[in-house]
Amino acid sequence: MSLENLLASARSWIADDPDATTRAELEAVVARAEGGDDVAAADLADRFAAFLEFGTAGLRGALGAGPNRMNRVVVLRAAAGLTRYLQDSLARRDVTVVIGFDARHNSDVFAADTAAVVTAAGGRALVLPRPLPTPVLAFAIRHLGADAGVMVTASHNPPQDNGYKVYLGDGSQIVPPSDVEIAAAIDTFPTAASVARAEDGWETLTDELAADYVAACGASVGAPAAELSIVHTALHGVGSATLLEAFEAAGYARPRPVASQEQPDPEFPTVAFPNPEEPGAIDAALELARETSPDLVIASDPDADRCAVAVPDPKAATDADPQGWRMVRGDEVGALLGHRALGLITTGAATGADGGPGVVANSIVSSRLLGAMARAAGVPHEETLTGFKWIARVRDIAYGYEEALGYCTAPAVARDKDGISAALAVAELAAGLKADGRTLVDLLDDLAREHGVHASDSFSIRVSDLALMPALMGRLREQPATQIGNVVVAAFHDLAKGEGGLPPTDGLRYLLADGTRVIVRPSGTEPKVKVYLEAIVHVDGDDLAGARTQAAERLAATRAAMEALTAL
């Protein structure tokens, strides 16, 4: 688009924008671009490169003015499109939408705008009373009998981002073709001015809703078998108060919060990246753990739908850290909680969410260990595409997880990943082991001996230009590797073709002759391509250490080869 056309588009946007802050922001960019500032012209080109795409993750992007940013114009159009889609698909005007929001910049504004649009269109809008975790919103949809839910959050993204996550009436996130149909409905509202907004008329829910969620979480676990001490960090998100209340409701001691990260703060001042998976994110919690010697560290991501765990591990002990605190990988937590779930299913203490005997599930990029455990226990197991929009839809799910710290341990509470009920499930398991003089690390060793060492790793290729992502995937498709790390590729699957009965998705899977698996896929929420690795080595006799060493060597060789293959 020429600079002249960009300036014209920007002026039209300014005239349509109801927000004084973003109007002023764009006016300043326009003035600099008109004055010959090349940086401002490039900024303007990026802001108007496209409309922020509405997909199965809803909307997510940087805050700011323009169609390629998160702002009130984009949100008003999205809310109008969602409402029209609901009214058309349900053949009635009086649709009910429950709306939640976190503590990020403008989350409350976007929530209020959504309520105003739903109300003006003849629907009923129910707004959560304050910034609350995403799982509370997922719970509220079915608890209140709503037709849909909207959560304004960017989860663990950087401070400059926000997002708009959409759920339908079953409490699960949208999947195709709903996303395409909603996007088409959004296109029927080309401007903010084309969207009707009510001045009032929506309902702000009371704290009774949050209390109902807390009670449901508390009832999802048994009483502690032993006294447990836990350090918890909310990473400046909205999870702290709700998690502490849920532990109390379940009869567990309230975790000790990391004070510097306990209160919501949209700037996330003490972490470079507010994702517990990222190096350094839970350093403050580990520092408190070394001072206080708890049994566990639990970290919530900013909207508390993910749960990270750290444990003392004698094998990781050093002079500086005699307890050996280490993060438990997402797949390891997935296996631990899977062990708990399989025990509940096989004893009849848990059933499926739809009334059947119970199924366990995980995403295709997660470890194959849960599947091996389920086969040994005689419990049905399913593998899904990445994301809880797929995992939560497994019929009769009793437990599901994905390696990115997402766990559904109580589908009757929230049919989505839920970092709060998952934290309680981890605590229940750890307390039971502690009563027997054992730890989560001991259980991981048992699972490895029984089912083999399942060692996993991942890395990402971050891009500044989104066009590099399809280019990289295209190159890997056109020149499929026949060897990776000097190991023959026994099978190569293009997941875009709908491999194994799964819906088509942009991804590639390599199965190596030694059982190692590699999956490459673009992220659905961030500008990066992710590579997932897993090596399986069965334990010979009791040589667990030897099997782990062999698995680590396979992973290292595979990673080095894939880093070379995916270099930009």
**Active site members:** 155
- 3-class DSSP state of 300: strand
In DSSP notation, 20-34 reads HHHHHHHHHHHHHHH
What CA–CA distance (Å, rounded) separates 501 from 96? 34
DSSP category for residue 147: S
DSSP category for residue 501: G
What CA–CA distance (Å, rounded) separates 6 from 126? 39
- Return all residues near 143 (Cβ < 8 A) that are at least 6 apart: 209, 212, 213
What CA–CA distance (Å, rounded) separates 555 from 456? 7
What CA–CA distance (Å, rounded) separates 484 from 562? 7
Half-sphere exposure (Cβ direction) of 343: Cα atoms closer than 13 Å: 10
CA-to-CA dists, residue 23 to 12, 14, 28, 64, 152, angstroms? 11, 5, 9, 9, 22
- 3-class DSSP state of 176: coil
Q: What is the residue whose two structure tokens read 């109390």? A: 248
Query: Of 74, 76, 54, whose CA–CA distance to 64 is shortest?
Result: 74
Burial class (CB in 10 A: 0-12, 13-18, 19+), 225: middle
- Return all residues near 63 (Cβ < 8 A) that are at least 6 apart: 69, 70, 71, 105, 106, 160, 161, 162
CA-to-CA dists, residue 234 to 186, 224, 299, angstroms? 34, 23, 6
> Is the separation of the CB atoms in 167 and 141 below 8 Å?
yes
Tokens of 252: 């567990």
- Terminal Cα distance for the chain, rounded: 27
SS3 letters across 374-405: HHHHCCCEEEECCCHHHHCCCCCEEEEEECCC
CB atoms within 10 A of CB 347: 8
Helix (H) or strand (E) holding 152: strand 148-152
- Return all residues near 525 (Cβ < 8 A) that are at least 6 apart: 57, 60, 155, 157, 163
Task: Give start and end residues of each alpha helix (H) in 97-167.
Answer: 107-120, 134-143
What CA–CA distance (Å, rounded) separates 127 from 108? 10
